[in-house]
Amino acid sequence: MKSMLPQDPILSLSEALSFEENYFRGNEDLQWQVMTKAGEGVADAALRDMRELRTIPHRPRILALVGKGHNGADALIAVRRFLRTIPTASAVVWQWTPKDECKPFTQRAFEELIEFASKRLLILPVVNGMDPAEIEHNLDEVCKERGFDLLIDGLLGMQMRRGLKSPLMEWIELLNHSNKISVRVSVDLPTGLCASINDEIKPFRADFTYCTGIVKEPVIDNSNQPWVGRLRYLDLGFFENAPNDASCSVEKVLRSSALPLLRKLRPVNSDKRSFGHLLVIAGSRDMGGAALMCVRGALRAGVGLLTCGVPESLHPSFVANCPEAMWIPLPETPNGGLALEGLGKIKQFLDRADALVVGPGIGEEEESHAVIRETCKLFPKSLLMDADALRPEIVSKLKNYAQIIITPHGGELDRLSGYGQTEEFIASFPGVILQKGPHSKVISNGSVLHLFSGSSLLARGGSGDLLSGIIGSLMARGKWSLADCAALGALWHGRAAEALSRQHGQEAVTTTQVLDYLSFALRNDF
């Protein structure tokens, strides 16, 4: 089944430059329109993401680092948008070069900002030519009363090639380590990211990097993650009329407009069977919560019918806790795992199910692994394998890989690949891989789809169990390809986490609270 999801290519720096030249063809009006959309998008996104740290204060302060190129213009436009959105906000602009040495668009953005908000704007002396002590003094002076709630890095973009030199290097280091800055964001690429990164020369360290219009390859390099922070893709419509460009790229990014594909009214003549029947085999006496969270995830994601097989000692409490599911008590081992004698009982339910999820909380007992392996071999339809089901001795025995999604995090992927051969395993696996991580990706048929939704709030036990249930619910409906189910489920899960963290922060929450925000994520564009 062909993917129905909107996605755009990820380009190298040279490809991105070439694309932009061909796209604009010297049309300055179009370029300014797109630049304005990009800068305003950065401001709007930053205003949302800042809430993961704290509630926006009454009089927020912004610090913008401005270079002479178009990243500087984006940052200045973002400041103007921010000041327009919050009338009590103020901003400080810190330039690398004088305004009259900047590119024309950057000069124009500067002039429009000054005209709009000169009384709420402070412009610091130009940094280029200063010694490090003077730079530090200027920062101390501007932070005397209070620091900054947001820093926008618009210094150097994708044409930066050489390493950071003094005083730029010391300036960046000072800002990276300052405790007077709450949230740091970069436009497109953190300053210095294209340089050789070593112990002496480090790029700007962003909490969020906003990829405006085009995602550039350096930001998806795992080794750059400490510098790019959390990635967001701001779609500017570059590829809407260029499907061939998007389809030829192996590495792609999912557009945020994919989630509304799930936003549909249910047909008036539908019933519970219209939304699929999911079977889950999960849990052990010591890790029963994983099974329960997987089931709750599937139910919240709208599955029509759900049957879950768990060790019999868990059955009474689970029925009382989650009566919407149909619970199967299965024989268990002395240690509380799934016993082989329960396989016959599981077989009775395989024909009824449209999709199967296995693995959450099953533990490390070999007998439980044998139950999962034989169940998977018998099931001919869509199958998701997670957690302790992701073992070579289970996965390697299966045959119908075209019907399988595996959802490993880094450790599980190492275990599956025999440690040290991860890339070889990924390249040779014939099914769908949802590689979970700070920025998850769906790997299928030689292509890689990157997902930039989510929050570090999800770095908690159980978040993967919720995700397995959500994806299983989508699989059971049979409307989307397996790769699309994995991508949509991860996007929905990540967006719910974003909404939760913006409401309550990243710390004082629990994993299952994510489920309370699935509805908000689906019903709102943000």
Q: How far is CA 175 from CA 65, 204, 234, 446, in A?
A: 10, 8, 25, 40
Q: Does a structural domain hold residue 512?
A: no
The verdict on 295 and 330 lying in the same domain is yes
- For residue 250, the tally of other CB atoms under 10 A from its CB is 9
Q: Does a structural domain hold residue 423?
A: yes
Q: Does a structural domain hold residue 505?
A: no
> Would you give the DSSP letter of residue 102?
S
CB 471 within 8 A of CB 489: yes
Those residues whose C-beta lies under 8 Å from the C-beta of residue 372, and which sit 6 or more positions away, are 281, 338, 358, 359, 362, 389, 394
Q: How many domains does the chain have?
A: 2
In this predicted structure, what is the pLDDT of residue 286?
Answer: 96
CB 280 within 8 A of CB 385: no
The verdict on 389 and 482 lying in the same domain is yes
- Separation of alpha carbons 111 and 71, rounded Å: 16
Q: With 0-12 CB in 10 A as exposed, 13-18 as middle and 19+ as buried, what is 161?
A: exposed
- Separation of alpha carbons 93 and 180, rounded Å: 16
- Separation of alpha carbons 205 and 236, rounded Å: 25
The candidate with the shortest Cα–Cα distance to 139, out of 112, 103, 179, 182, is: 179
In this predicted structure, what is the pLDDT of residue 118?
Answer: 87
CATH number at residue 470: 3.40.1190.20
The verdict on 233 and 302 lying in the same domain is no
Q: Which residue has the tokens 């089901």?
A: 389
Q: Which residue has the tokens 């300036």?
A: 171
Q: Does a structural domain hold residue 371?
A: yes
Q: Does a structural domain hold residue 122?
A: yes
The verdict on 179 and 295 lying in the same domain is no
CATH number at residue 49: 3.40.50.10260
Q: What are the strands, taking DSSP E only, across 325-381?
A: 326-330, 355-358
Q: Does a structural domain hold residue 419?
A: yes
In this structure, the strands spanning 447-450 and 441-444 are: antiparallel
Of the three residues 229, 254, 279, the one that is the final residue of a domain is 254
In this predicted structure, what is the pLDDT of residue 246?
Answer: 47
Give tens-digit pLDDT for 93-134.
999 999 999 999 999 999 999 999 989 999 999 999 999 999
The verdict on 240 and 377 lying in the same domain is no
Q: What is the extent of the structural domain holding 429?
A: 269-492
The verdict on 371 and 471 lying in the same domain is yes
The helix-helix angle for 288-300 and 463-477 (nearest 10°) equals: 40
- Separation of alpha carbons 144 and 142, rounded Å: 6
Q: State the average pLDDT for the chain.
A: 94
CB 315 within 8 A of CB 327: yes
Give tens-digit pLDDT for 167-189.
999 999 999 999 999 999 999 99
In this predicted structure, what is the pLDDT of residue 450?
Answer: 98
The verdict on 321 and 201 lying in the same domain is no
Of the three residues 185, 219, 254, the one that is the final residue of a domain is 254
User: Which residues of the chain, if any, have pLDDT below 50?
Assistant: 243-246
Q: Does a structural domain hold residue 354?
A: yes
Of the three residues 224, 254, 284, the one that is the final residue of a domain is 254
> Would you give the DSSP letter of residue 308?
E
The verdict on 250 and 301 lying in the same domain is no
The verdict on 215 and 280 lying in the same domain is no
The verdict on 250 and 367 lying in the same domain is no
Residue length of the chain: 526
CB 505 within 8 A of CB 183: no
201 token code pair? 């020369």
Phi, psi angle pair for 415, to nearest 5°: -65, -40
The verdict on 273 and 398 lying in the same domain is yes
Q: Does a structural domain hold residue 441?
A: yes
DSSP, residue by residue, 357-371: EE-TT--S-HHHHHH
- Separation of alpha carbons 77 and 435, rounded Å: 36
The verdict on 191 and 305 lying in the same domain is no
The candidate with the shortest Cα–Cα distance to 506, out of 466, 463, 465, is: 463
